[in-house]
Chains A and B, each alone.
Chain A
Amino acid sequence: MTDLLQREAKTRGHIPGESSMWFFVIGDLIIFAGYFLAYMYYRGQDPELFLESQARLNLDIGAANTVVLLTSSLFVALGTSAARSEKTADGVRLIGFALTLGAAFPVLKLFEYVPEVLAGVTPGTNVFFMFYYVMTGLHLCHVMLGLVILSFVIRNLRDPARKNISFVETGATYWHMVDVLWLVLFALLYGMR
């Protein structure tokens, strides 16, 4: 604990990962913010339709997926911290667990999408479901890319010749961004009234 705090104190003023990744992360945050604000604007045009449509979503899967991403993010953060402290084996294990858990997200999402589509609920149903499918679909693409990045992070950690803490931080930064975007989506689509 103490050595961890000391190590963290030493990293003050440090950009986690490649600054080029932060360019994409900030860009993505701004683009998604545009979608979120547009969603809120269109919601204001017909709140009844949005409320009625929100009631058709599977809150349980939405909440379970929130816990999945938060927990996966925790393991990535712990894995990054371990890798930084030269505990590479722990880092591989922790990020491996984060990857396995993260892979549950698309599976759960499938259990949400399939019954909806089978019930005839598609992006064409109404403006709420257009936003729902486009925003969660785009987010799902980010999750898939995040899983690929995490597997490269593990490969990177496993090979002593390739090991590069900056790449681990870069992958972690991307994965946490995916988590943040989902937290907002969860509030807008499932939570608010």
Chain B
Amino acid sequence: MARYVRNPLTITWVLLTAVTLVSWLAARDTGSAHVLNVGVTVVVLAIAAVKSQLVIWYFMEVRHAPNWLRVVVTGWVLTLFAALLGIYLIIP
């Protein structure tokens, strides 16, 4: 059992879940009024980018994969979130 609890995968999961719970509670606090908020959006997108990369790196085992696969998948995360943020900030 200890081999599953004291495991890098489980530690990754604790981090991912803690971040999710914190952002859940933070979002609930703001109540029902949704107003444009660049700060919140930047934080939300950054958290999602880090979470995605953690799942890709540790759960999907891309950290042990050949370089081309690491570059393609990590490149997907970086390009996607940079483009999402770019569109959000530029339009309109």
Chain A positions within 8 Å of B, measured between CB atoms, are 1, 4, 8, 11-16, 22, 26, 29-30, 33, 36-37, 40-41, 43-45, 47, 51-52, 54-55, 59-60, 63, 66-67, 70-71, 73-74, 76-78, 81-82, 90, 94, 169, 172-173, 176-177, 179-180, 183-184, 186-188, 190-193
Chain B: interface size category: 35 or more
Q: Known contacts being A1-B3, A78-B10, is A184 close to B52, with CB within 8 Å?
A: yes
Q: B6's contact among A1, A179, A190, by CB below 8 Å, is which?
A: A1
A182 to B64, CA, bound (A): 23
Establish whether residues A14 and B65, one from each chain, have CB atoms under 8 Å apart when the complex forms.
Answer: yes
Closest to A169 in B: B61
Question: CA A26 – CA B71 in complex, angstroms?
Answer: 12
Known: A67-B21, A70-B13, A78-B4. Contact between A33 and B80, CB under 8 A? yes
> How far apart are B70's CB and chain A's nearest CB, in angstroms?
10
Q: Judging by beta carbons under 8 Å apart, are A70 and B84 in contact?
A: no
Interface residues of B, dominant DSSP? helix
Q: How far is the CA of A45 from the CA of B90 in the complex (A)?
A: 11
Min C-beta distance of B69 to chain A, whole Å: 6
* Shortest Cβ gap from B91 to chain A (Å): 3
B20-A66 in contact (CB<8A): yes
* Chain A hits for B10, CB < 8 A: 74, 78
Interface SS of chain A: helix
Most buried by A among B13, B21, B60, B66: B60
A/B interface sample: 27 pairs, CB < 8 A: A4-B3, A13-B65, A14-B64, A15-B65, A16-B65, A33-B76, A36-B80, A40-B83, A40-B84, A40-B91, A41-B91, A43-B88, A44-B91, A47-B36, A51-B35, A63-B24, A73-B55, A73-B59, A81-B9, A94-B4, A172-B59, A172-B60, A180-B52, A180-B60, A191-B23, A191-B27, A191-B44
Which residues of B41-92 have CB atoms within 8 Å of chain A's CB atoms? 41, 44-45, 47-48, 51-52, 55-56, 58-62, 64-66, 69, 72-73, 76, 79-80, 83-84, 87-88, 90-92
A29 lies within 8 A of B76 (CB): yes
**List of B residues within 8 angstroms of A94 by Cβ:** 4
A42: shortest Cβ distance to chain B, in Å? 10
Which listed residue, B12, B59, B80, B91, touches A184 by the CB 8 Å rule?
B80
Across-interface contacts of A173 in B (CB, < 8 A): 60
